[in-house]
Amino acid sequence: MAGINCIGILTSGGDAPGMNAAIRAVTRSAIFGGFKVKGIYRGYRGLITGEIQEFKTQNVSNIIQAGGTILKTARCKEFQTPEGRQLAYETLKKEGIDALVVIGGDGSLTGARIFATEFNFPIVGLPGTIDNDLYGTDKTIGYDTALNTIMECVDKIRDTATSHERLFFIEVMGRDAGFLALNGAIATGAEAAIIPEISTEVDQLAELIQSGFRKSKNSSIVLVAESPITGGAMALAERVKNEYPQYDVRVTILGHLQRGGSPTAVDRILASRMGAAAVDALLEDQRNVMIGIRNDEIVYVPFSKAIKNDKPINRELLNTLRRLSI
């Protein structure tokens, strides 16, 4: 493709299992296509500070199974300013990098979109976030692994919940998206999921208690999406204490456990396909697009759509959870 000899790769925002598999795939596909590859450390900050290293095939050996990101990641306030982005652009020019592959979530792709527009620079994004909240792709890199981690944790908590006849609130990540909570609840046979998508429509806690959810069971597990909209598990437990004091409530916040660990086969394959597709996209003169997967086919999603549009929750899943939790 015209004018591209060297491709830069960075990971930005929250880490997600499978990012390393994506770095490996981009690096090797690019080298296979005859390009030079440079790894940029610590996300956009590395573009400003010039923490950059040329990557050969062996730089990405033996990383497909590792969680986290070998390129490290950092939040970068400076990149949010025009001056910071100007510095980043100068670094790219100095390093001879002609195109970028950015692996990250919503915020990372927003940064990529602004930068690409300002400097007319070819950027392709890969959706790397456990939240699964990017529009235009059925799955994001890291989501499947996080879901499996949640499942293992909740299975262990259920052992103690059953022994003690308590109500357990388990808080999972997801920011303003309930995918981890809802699918985690189905996978673990939890009684309910409290998610931001329907918090404005119904009082999920009241609905849960009033449905007599403990008629047939002595212990209950409820997954809660961390979000200002749901209030999180602590706020809900506080409400139960005040409004339904007859229940003995316990809270577990899974936190950063969910981000770590070796990626599942699903995430390794997804990251590998998307990484290779990012290089194809650049070869096809695509820019300002995120690589997505829809119905098991690779698709190109314009940054503007991936960032701006909210990804809808599948209402059918809510219905399934309700029916199975009686």
d(CA 281, CA 298): 10
Residue 318: partners with Cβ closer than 8 Å, 6 or more residues away:
182, 193, 198
By residue count, the chain amounts to 326
Residue type, 174: G
Q: Choose the catalytic residue: 131, 133, 144, 176.
A: 131
Question: For 132, what's the count of Cα atoms within 13 Å in the CB-facing half-sphere?
Answer: 26
Rounded alpha-carbon distances, angstroms, from residue 44 to 55, 87, 231: 18, 11, 31
Token pair 């004091």 in the structure block, residue:
245
Task: Kindly state the DSSP code that residue 324 receives in the 8-state scheme.
Answer: H
Confirm whether 155 is a catalytic residue: no
Burial-class residue 315 by CB neighbours within 10 Å (0-12, 13-18, 19+): exposed
Please give the positions annotated as active site.
131
